[in-house]
Amino acid sequence: MRIVKSIPANIEQLLNRYEENGHLTMQASLMGKQSVVYRLQEYCLKVYTPRGKVDGELECEALLSLQNNPHVPELYAYASGNFVLTEWIEGFNLREYRATYGHIPHNLIYDMFSTELQQIQAGYRDWDVLRYENLLWTATGEVKRTDFWLCEPVSCMRLRERVQHNIIRKIERIYSGDETDLEEVVHYFDRHGLTTTEVQEALVHFRSHTPRMALAQ
């Protein structure tokens, strides 16, 4: 286990015991095929299943490399492919946020594109089209991402520049009123039940947001 930031002694002991015997007696907060999530006070412990081991290794690497990005949870400790301990994010996905507060996040599209752009600028991209499904909005309006197992490093600088260029061109076209690149975004909105009026509202907010997103390459 590697400890990245200081954690309470009792949690460090729990993680050491888990490394030794592979057993946890706590109730899970979320169970999936790739991982099981536990809440430990203000921390989130994600334990990878055998099926999720390889993806867990990639996720640990991405979390460590992206710590300077504001949308990435704070990383405290990890054992690559075994478990990862981060801050617990109290937030909602788009559908949950809308149901809870009665409206969509004010900076919805800005948040979506800024997290995507920051990530590729840091050398990582998603190879899955459902990247936006991993975004959560907090009660204070912050956007966070909690899953990075579909996030891979882009080591080739030429490829990274091309991906970044494509994202920037897409953002610029939306700023200019051209909505030809919105298909993926609209599909995400549809999955979360947004109305046509709400989609247009999100676009208006994005185009009027100040300052505009920094797009310099």
pLDDT in tens, 78-95: 999 999 999 999 999 999
Residue 75's alpha-carbon distances to 69, 141, 188, 209, 213, in angstroms, are 12, 21, 28, 30, 27
pLDDT given for residue 216 in this prediction: 58
| Per-residue pLDDT at 14 | 96
User: String of b and e for 10-41 (b: at least 16 CB within 10 Å)?
Assistant: ebbebbeebeeeeebeeeeeeeeebbbbbebe
- As a CATH number, domain 91-208 is 1.10.510
* Residue found under tokens 């009026």: 197
2-87 in CATH: which number? 3.30.200.20
- Sequence ranges of the domains in the chain: 2-87, 91-208
Kindly report, residue by residue over 7-44, the tens digit of the pLDDT. 999 999 999 999 999 889 899 999 999 999 999 999 99
Residue 65 confidence (pLDDT): 95
Which residue ranges in the chain fall short of pLDDT 70? 128-131, 216-217
Quick one: how far is CA 47 from the chain centroid?
A: 17
- pLDDT given at position 127: 72
Which of these, 64, 78, 61, lies nearest to 12 by C-alpha position? 78
